Amino acid sequence: MISKPISSIMRNGIVLLCFLCAFAFSLRAQQILSPDKKIKVAFAIANGGASFKVWYKNNLVLEESSLGIIRDDEDFYIGLRIINSSPATIVNDSYHTKNAKKSSVHYQASRKVFHLQNRHGKIMDIIFQVSNDGLGFRYFFPDHSAADKFIQSEATAYNLNKNARAWLQPMSVAKSGWQQCNPAYEEGYVQEVPVGTPSKVGWVYPALFRSNDVWMLFSEASLDSTYCGTRLINDSASSIYKVGFPDPREVFTGQGLLPHSKLPWSTPWRRATRS
**CATH, residue 137:** 2.70.98.10
Domain membership flag for residue 18: no
Residue 44 has what pLDDT?
Answer: 98
Domain membership flag for residue 229: yes
Domain membership flag for residue 14: no
Domain membership flag for residue 200: yes
12-21, 143-152, 254-263: which has the minimum mean pLDDT? 12-21
Count the domains in the chain.
1
Residue 65 has what pLDDT?
Answer: 98
227-232-233 Cα angle (round to 5): 115
Domain that holds residue 97: 29-274
Mean pLDDT estimate for the chain: 89
**pLDDT greater than 50 at residue 16:** no
Domain membership flag for residue 2: no
**pLDDT greater than 90 at residue 12:** no
Residue 127 has what pLDDT?
Answer: 98
Contact yes or no for 169/203 (Cβ under 8 A):
yes
- The stretch 207-231 carries a mean pLDDT of 95
Rounded Cα gap, residues 112 and 114, in angstroms: 7
Domain membership flag for residue 24: no
**pLDDT greater than 90 at residue 90:** yes
Q: What are phi and psi of 267, to 5 degrees?
A: -85, 170
Residue 18 has what pLDDT?
Answer: 47
Domain membership flag for residue 13: no
Domain membership flag for residue 59: yes
Rounded Cα gap, residues 262 and 226, in angstroms: 9
Instruction: Name the strand (E) or helix (H) holding 6.
Output: helix 6-28
